[in-house]
A and B are shown apart, each in its own frame.
Chain A
Amino acid sequence: MSDLNPVIHAPARLRIMTTLDESLADGDQVTFPSVQKLLGMTAGNLTTHLAKLEAAGYVEVTKAFAGRKPVTYIALTHAGRDAFHTYRKDLLDLLGGAS
């Protein structure tokens, strides 16, 4: 049985990775409030989990300005997308192996 990636194998982080994989194409970025809205998470909770995903190299957090207003953008890295797809495959293999 293959080990499931522990960085993704946590409900909050799995939801974040699923959301980013579903909503972003390669090279796309999404603002922090938009991700928060898609997830229905508190800002603090989202920040905590994004920091773990960023430390693993799965997401990239960029600070920018829209006029004078600071905006935080989030992107899914290639490594992040690969890791998510591998996790999904491992999960399906694990469940398939159970039958």
Chain B
Amino acid sequence: MNVESRSADDSQASAADMLALMEGQRRSVRAKLDRRFSVLLVVWAAAWAIGFFALWSGERIGGNPLFRIPELTAWLIFGSVMVAGIVWSIVTGILSGRGFRGVSRLSGALYGWSWSVSMMGAGLFTAGLQREGMSDELAALLYPGLFVTLVGVLYLTGAALQRSPAQFALGCVMILIVVIATYVGTPTHYLIYATAGPVAMLAVAALQLRGVLPALVEESQ
């Protein structure tokens, strides 16, 4: 082997090492930055599993063949875990900006508030429809359907904001779940929301924690 070709080999080995170092660091940073959001996904997965399972087990409204709980209790459990999820989301949004300043901080804060505004708006909107005489059967489909559609849309928006194809995929899955659950109808739709949603969220959280769900890398230069 002559000196020139050996030097070229060394340079290539070094280049491979540097590429591996770059990829390793990128994953490490991504995992650290996303850790709070991964935990948030786990929290939401638990909230969905508990809340929708409670509705599926509610007297009159549910379909659980093994046991039933009073309808009011089911709605209280559902409401409590959803409120807990929203509060956790707001706290996560506030803490995630620590150590950073600039345009992303403002867009992150606005995005965080868009969750609470849209959820409250959806709640009041459906309550208004019920006041105008919407049937209980329709409300049972509309409440979770609208709520989960909004979650899906907010994931799609978040994906655009954070350049995250994984989050975009999760948003698409949420909207698909709404379509399937609504076509399946009551009361089985609650069981679909209690299982399919949390599984999708936990899968994304697990991949995020390992840093293997990258934001879109800009290759334009």
Contacts and interface: CB of A to CB of B under 8 A. Distances in A.
A19 B101 contact: no
B29 A33 contact: no
Contacts, number: 88
User: Do most interface residues of chain B lie in helix, strand or loop, or is the interface mixed?
Assistant: helix
B32 interface: yes
Interface in A10-55: 11, 14-15, 18-19, 22-31, 33-34, 37-39
A83 B15 CA distance: 16
Interface of A: 1, 4, 9, 11, 14-15, 18-19, 22-31, 33-34, 37-39, 73, 75, 82, 85-86, 88-89, 91-92, 94-95, 98
Instruction: List the 6 closest pairs (A to B, CB-CB), nearest first.
Output: A34-B99, A28-B102, A85-B221, A18-B25, A27-B103, A22-B29
A85 B220 contact: yes
A26 B163 CA distance: 14
B100 A30 contact: yes
Contacts of A75: 102
Contacts of B114: none
